[in-house]
């Protein structure tokens, strides 16, 4: 910190100290070699200074140990940086079990967040301290970038695809949230605030949020019924579309012979472009719901599909066939 001005944002997540340590190491390495080169250049310039212009330099035959040294040292330093970075990257991209899941959509010029119980926010995000939080997000229009400096997390929100980040906040308080990708004339105004709260305060906030329309799962089930997805996705697997009970996270065989994992991106594609990947044994009968379901609706349908997994989900599935209009004949 220089004169009260912090060099980096406050560290407010479990990942932040590791990212900062790597950053400081890279800065130290580049500074060391940069200063060393500057000193040697200056020293040699002074030592071999020739005011007359008549001196002739001695012939240089080279030095094998020197050449090996200046080749191997940078190599091992680069490998060390790569290994350290890869370790952090794998931790960054692999959230722990039992994370709190939140969905988000970037749109010019705002961030919308949806909690599983139905609470919705615009340009604000409330999370509990000391609990891993996973945010799955996409963009409705152009390329955006979800960036929370205090947590040292940042990832692109790409139209037509889902990205995800996770963090575990370590300090309560308010932290900045930005779009870190230029997205138009009001890009600088696409900012927000993350509120990190004590677990009890967070639960109280959820309870007092005045949520209407129920949880994301309930909204997804309602939308599933409204779009008449139940006419094709029968739980006994005898409908024109496959049963969706227990399908999330499973391997799905396609007519092409390939096998894909039924994750969020696959379900989204099944809803909006059902002919792209056809499930083996089913005809390409499902229509597209592009333009009929917005991103928030797609996320609710995905959450409903997830609810059909497991014992409770299977029981629920028997009462109301499969989920998301997405999978239709495509799955």
Return the pLDDT at 330.
46
CATH topology match: 100-207 vs 216-330 = no
Q: Domain locations in the chain?
A: 100-207, 216-330
Which fold would CATH assign to domain 216-330? Cytochrome Bc1 Complex; Chain D, domain 2 (1.10.760)
Cα separation of 20 and 130, whole Å?
20
Return the pLDDT at 4.
57
Return the pLDDT at 317.
34
Asked if 177 and 148 touch (Cβ cutoff 8 Å), the reply is yes
CA angle 134, 171, 158 (to 5 degrees): 30
Return the pLDDT at 5.
65
With a cut of 50, list the residues of the chain below it in pLDDT: 1-3, 311-331
Residue 76, H or E segment: helix 64-93
Return the pLDDT at 212.
57
User: How distant is the alpha carbon of residue 115 from its chain centre?
Assistant: 16
Return the pLDDT at 256.
87
Superfamily of domain 100-207: Cupredoxins -  blue copper proteins (2.60.40.420)
Burial 114-149 (b: 16+ CB within 10 A, else e): bbbebbebeeebbbbbeebbebbbbbeebebbbbbb
Return the pLDDT at 234.
83
Return the pLDDT at 8.
84
The one-character DSSP state at 244 is -
Return the pLDDT at 277.
87
């Amino acid at each position: 910190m220089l004169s009260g001005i912090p060099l980096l944002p406050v560290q407010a997540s479990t990942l932040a100290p590791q990212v900062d340590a790597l950053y400081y190491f890279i800065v130290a390495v580049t500074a060391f070699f940069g200063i060393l080169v500057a000193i040697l250049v200056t020293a040699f310039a002074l030592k071999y200074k020739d005011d007359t212009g008549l001196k002739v330099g001695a012939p240089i035959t080279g030095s094998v140990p020197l050449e090996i040294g200046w080749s191997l040292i940078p190599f091992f330093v680069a490998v060390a940086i790569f290994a350290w970075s890869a370790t952090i990257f794998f931790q960054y991209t692999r959230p722990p079990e039992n994370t709190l899941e939140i969905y988000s959509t970037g749109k010019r010029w705002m961030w919308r967040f949806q909690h599983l119980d139905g609470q919705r926010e615009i340009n604000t995000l409330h999370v509990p301290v000391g609990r891993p939080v996973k945010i799955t997000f996409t963009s409705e229009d152009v390329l955006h970038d979800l960036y929370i400096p205090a947590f040292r997390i940042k990832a692109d929100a790409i139209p037509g695809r889902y990205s995800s980040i996770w963090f575990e906040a370590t300090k309560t308080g308010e932290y900045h949230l930005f779009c870190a990708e230029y997205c138009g004339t009001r890009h600088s105004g696409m900012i927000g605030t993350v509120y990190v709260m004590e677990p009890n305060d967070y639960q109280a906030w959820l309870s007092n949020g005045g949520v209407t329309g129920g949880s994301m799962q309930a909204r997804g089930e309602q939308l599933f019924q409204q779009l008449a997805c139940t006419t094709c996705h029968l739980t006994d697997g005898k409908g024109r579309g496959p049963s969706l009970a227990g399908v999330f996270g499973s391997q799905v065989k396609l007519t092409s012979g390939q096998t894909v994992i039924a994750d969020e991106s696959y379900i989204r594609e099944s809803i909006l472009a059902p002919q792209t990947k056809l499930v083996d044994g089913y005809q390409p009968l499902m229509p597209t719901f592009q333009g009929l379901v917005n991103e928030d609706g797609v996320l609710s349908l995905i959450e409903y599909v997830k609810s059909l997994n497991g014992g409770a989900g299977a029981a629920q599935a028997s009462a109301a066939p499969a989920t998301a209009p997405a999978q239709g004949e495509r799955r």
